[in-house]
Chain A
Amino acid sequence: MPIDLKQLATDVVKRAMAGGAAAAECVVRQGDEFSSVVRLGQVETLKESGGRSMGLRIFFHANGGGEGGFRAASTHTSDFSKEGVEQMISGALALAKITSADPHSGLPAAGEFGQLSGDLALYYDDVYSLPTEERIAQARRAEQAAMSADPRISNSEGGSFDAATGNKILANSLGFVGEYRRSYCSLSAVPIAQQDGAMQRDFWYSVARTLAKLDSPESVGKTAAARTLRRLGARKVPTARVPVVFEPMVARSLIENIFEAVNGDSIYRGASFLAGRLGEQVAGENVNVIDDGTIPGGFGTSPFDGEGVPTRRTVVIERGVLKSYLLNTYTARKLGLATTGNASRGLAGTPGIGVGNFFLEAGDKTAEAIIREVPDGLYVTEFLGFGVNLVTGDFSRGASGLWIRNGELAFPVEEITVAGNLRDMFRNITAIGSDLEFRGAVAAPTIRIDGLTVAGE
Chain B
Amino acid sequence: MTIPDQFFFERYGLAARDLEKYLAAALSAGGDYADLYFEHHYSSGITLDESLIKSASQGISAGCGVRVISGERTGYAYTDDLAPERILRAARTAAMIASGPAKQPIADLKQSPLRSDLYPVVSSPAADAGVAQKLELVLRADRAARAYDPRIFQVRASYAEETRRILVVGSDGSIATDLQPLARFNVFCIAKDESGSARGSAGGGGRVAQDYFLTEKTPEHFAKEAARQAIIQLGAQDAPAGEMPVVLGPGWPGILLHEAIGHGLEADFNRKQTSAFTGLVGRRVASEKCTVVDNGTLPSRRGSINVDDEGSPTQNTVLIENGILKGYLADKLSSKLMGIADTGNGRRESYEHIPMPRMTNTYMLAGDDAPEDIIRSVERGIYAANFGGGQVDITNGKFVFSASEAYLIEDGHVTAPLKNCTLIGNGPDVLTRVSMVGNDLKLDEGVGTCGKDGQSVPVGVGIPTIKVDWITVGGTAKG
Q: Give A contacts to B, CB under 8 Å.
A: 39, 42-49, 51-53, 55, 72-80, 84, 87-88, 90-91, 94-96, 98-102, 105, 132, 155, 157, 192, 198-201, 231, 234, 236, 239, 269-271, 347-350, 384-387, 389, 391-392, 394, 396-398, 400, 414-421, 453-457
A52 partner, pick from B74, B80, B127, B154, beta carbons under 8 A: B80
CB<8 Å pairs between A and B, sample of 15: A49-B90, A74-B57, A75-B57, A76-B59, A100-B54, A236-B472, A270-B192, A271-B199, A386-B402, A387-B420, A392-B197, A398-B391, A398-B400, A454-B241, A456-B242
Q: How far is the CA of A417 from the CA of B242 in the complex (A)?
A: 9
Contacts A389-B420, A391-B190, A457-B242: A417 and B80 contacting too (C-beta < 8 A)?
no
Q: How far is the CA of A348 from the CA of B79 in the complex (A)?
A: 21
* Residue among A49, A400, A456 facing the most chain B CB atoms (10 A cut-off): A49
Interface string of B147-178 (1 = CB under 8 A from A): 00000011010000000000000000000000
Interface string of B383-406 (1 = CB under 8 A from A): 000001111110110111110000
B426 partner, pick from A96, A100, A385, A415, beta carbons under 8 A: A415
Q: How far is the CB of B332 from chain A (nearest CB, A)?
A: 15
Contacts A397-B422, A419-B421: A386 and B391 contacting too (C-beta < 8 A)?
yes
Q: How far is the CA of A42 from the CA of B401 in the complex (A)?
A: 35
**Chain B residues near A454 (CB, 8 Å)?**
241
Q: How far is the CB of B195 from chain A (nearest CB, A)?
A: 10
Contacts A45-B75, A78-B80: A155 and B273 contacting too (C-beta < 8 A)?
yes
Are A396 and B190 in contact, with the CB atoms below 8 A? Answer: no
* Residue among A73, A84, A414, A417 facing the most chain B CB atoms (10 A cut-off): A417
Apart from A49-B76, A199-B274: 8 A-B pairs, beta carbons within 8 A: A46-B97, A76-B61, A101-B52, A239-B242, A385-B402, A400-B398, A415-B426, A419-B476
A-facing residues in B361-398 (Cβ within 8 Å): 388-393, 395-396, 398
Contacts A75-B59, A77-B59, A392-B197: A456 and B395 contacting too (C-beta < 8 A)?
no
* Residue among A42, A48, A80 facing the most chain B CB atoms (10 A cut-off): A48
Q: Give chain B's interface secondary structure class.
A: strand
A348 partner, pick from B57, B81, B426, beta carbons under 8 A: B57
Q: How far is the CA of A398 from the CA of B46 in the complex (A)?
A: 35
**Chain A residues near B128 (CB, 8 Å)?**
94, 98
Q: How far is the CA of A348 from the CA of B61 in the complex (A)?
A: 12
Interface string of B30-60 (1 = CB under 8 A from A): 0000000000000101110100111111111
Q: How far is the CA of A101 from the CA of B51 in the complex (A)?
A: 11
Determine whether B408 belongs to the interface, using a CB cutoff of 8 Å to chain A: no
- Closest A residue to B242 using CB positions: A239
Are B476 and A387 in contact, with the CB atoms below 8 A? Answer: no
Which 4 A-B pairs have CB atoms at the shortest separation, nearest pair first?
A417-B474, A385-B400, A398-B400, A455-B241
Determine whether B113 belongs to the interface, using a CB cutoff of 8 Å to chain A: no
Q: How far is the CB of B72 from chain A (nearest CB, A)?
A: 6
Are B476 and A385 in contact, with the CB atoms below 8 A? Answer: no
Determine whether B265 belongs to the interface, using a CB cutoff of 8 Å to chain A: no
Determine whether B96 belongs to the interface, using a CB cutoff of 8 Å to chain A: yes
Determine whether B407 belongs to the interface, using a CB cutoff of 8 Å to chain A: no
Are A387 and B422 in contact, with the CB atoms below 8 A? Answer: yes
Determine whether B135 belongs to the interface, using a CB cutoff of 8 Å to chain A: yes
Determine whether B462 belongs to the interface, using a CB cutoff of 8 Å to chain A: no
- Closest A residue to B90 using CB positions: A49
Contacts A90-B127, A349-B55: A157 and B96 contacting too (C-beta < 8 A)?
no
Are B127 and A453 in contact, with the CB atoms below 8 A? Answer: no
